Amino acid sequence: MTGRRRDVALDALRLLAVLLMIASHTTRLIAWDERRGWSWFSLLIEPFTASLFLMLVGASLVLSWRAARAGGRAAWFRKQALRAAGLWAVSALFYALEEGVRWPDVATMSGILATIAYVSLLGMVLVASPRPALALSIAAALCIGAHVWLDKSGLMVFGLNAGNSPLLPLFPLACLGGLGILGLEGGRPLRIGVAAAAAVTFSALAWRFGFAPIFSAPLGRYETARVLEWMDHGRMLRKEIPYYNLRPLLVPMIAAMAVLVYAVFSLARPMLERGQRIFLAMGRRSLDVYILHLAILAAFFEAGHGRRPLQKTWQGDAVVLGAIAASWLWVLGRDAYAARKRSKDLRYFPAANQ
């Protein structure tokens, strides 16, 4: 038996999210006046980058459940729970290394990986339900409604719509990602209709508000800070960790952009399929890339003894290209090792390929 063919357009979306993530994270190490256009653009659309990862989580859950359905819910739930636990642990570790062990943040909302873990646990129940499209639709509608209400009321609840990668609007965006995969089964007319609706939504919002303003404060985001206090040798210490959080207006814009980019990649599917083994490798192993690029950037951060150790324009260019190249070579090596191991297993256990 052969597995389901990978959707190379989804892998291209993952690659785009990874590249934008590396660019925005590297930018924060570059001196303010030495940043190029790619740096400013990566920070401007960073809400799209984070949201795209969560939409891809929703899409991946649907695809994973399709492949594992024959094995039953219990086995699949266990696999997803173990994966979520690993993501949570990595997120908590990176948070502790950067900010110290600050409670409850290190154990609750430590970053995007922790949010992905929570979304995976919530989403797997919806995806494996008897009517996943209905379950995902209701969850998305309720969460978007709650997000709008909280925003209009001026309420900020840590972990829900404020803090480090809160659940709103990332969880409903993940639900929309899962619905997108289910919608691909609707046939060509539905796909064209969704793409056309996305184009209209994107154009209308960009024309009404402007592309840059909708991704900026106060329309698309607002600034907030998490204040942490702790005792150290009898002294009360205080630290503010700044964050930005997303406003409801960004949700339709981000969803429309994701649909349009996926549509463009789908049109380029023949070309992507020819080069997928080499060029889409980073998209297939996005968690590896996340951990590796953070380790590389952390080394520069520690070596520079400051928030922005890259003081020259060329240094920023070199580091972002170096992080991409190192990540790319790593995943190609992982793929080559996995292929050799699979070939060896098939040589000794030929029945595994039947």
Q: Across residues 151-175, what is the average pLDDT?
A: 89
Please give the model's pTM, rounded to 2 decimal places: 0.89
Position 339 pLDDT exceeds 90: no
Calculate what percentage of the chain has a pLDDT beyond 70: 91
Q: Do the beta carbons of residue 73 and residue 51 sit within 8 Å? A: no
Tokens representing 112? 């995007």
Q: Across residues 196-220, what is the average pLDDT?
A: 94
Position 349 pLDDT exceeds 60: no
Compute the distance between CA of residue 319 and CA of residue 26 in angstroms, rounded to an integer: 7
Compute the distance between CA of residue 17 and CA of residue 215 in angstroms, rounded to an integer: 17
Q: Do the beta carbons of residue 275 and residue 329 sit within 8 Å? A: no
Q: Please report which helix (H) or strand (E) contains residue 93, including its range.
A: helix 73-99
Query: Which tens digit of pLDDT belongs to each residue from 139-154?
Result: 999 999 999 999 999 8
Question: In the prediction, which pLDDT does 306 show?
Answer: 59
Q: Using 50, 70 and 90 to split pLDDT, how confident is the model at 354?
A: very low
Query: Whole-angstrom distance between the N-terminal and C-terminal Cα of the chain?
Result: 6
**Which has more pLDDT, 50 or 345?**
50
Q: Across residues 84-94, what is the average pLDDT?
A: 87
Compute the distance between CA of residue 212 and CA of residue 205 in angstroms, rounded to an integer: 11
Query: Which tens digit of pLDDT belongs to each residue from 90-114?
Result: 888 877 776 667 777 777 766 788 8
Size of the chain, expressed as the number of residues it contains: 354
Query: Which tens digit of pLDDT belongs to each residue from 282-308?
Result: 888 888 888 888 888 888 877 765 567
Compute the distance between CA of residue 308 and CA of residue 285 in angstroms, rounded to an integer: 28
Position 24 pLDDT exceeds 90: yes
Q: Using 50, 70 and 90 to split pLDDT, how confident is the model at 2?
A: very low
Position 135 pLDDT exceeds 60: yes
Residue 165, SS3 per DSSP: coil
Position 130 pLDDT exceeds 80: yes
Q: Across residues 170-184, what is the average pLDDT?
A: 93
Cα of 235 vs its chain's centroid, Å: 39
Query: Which tens digit of pLDDT belongs to each residue from 216-256?
Result: 989 999 888 777 776 667 777 777 777 888 999 999 999 99
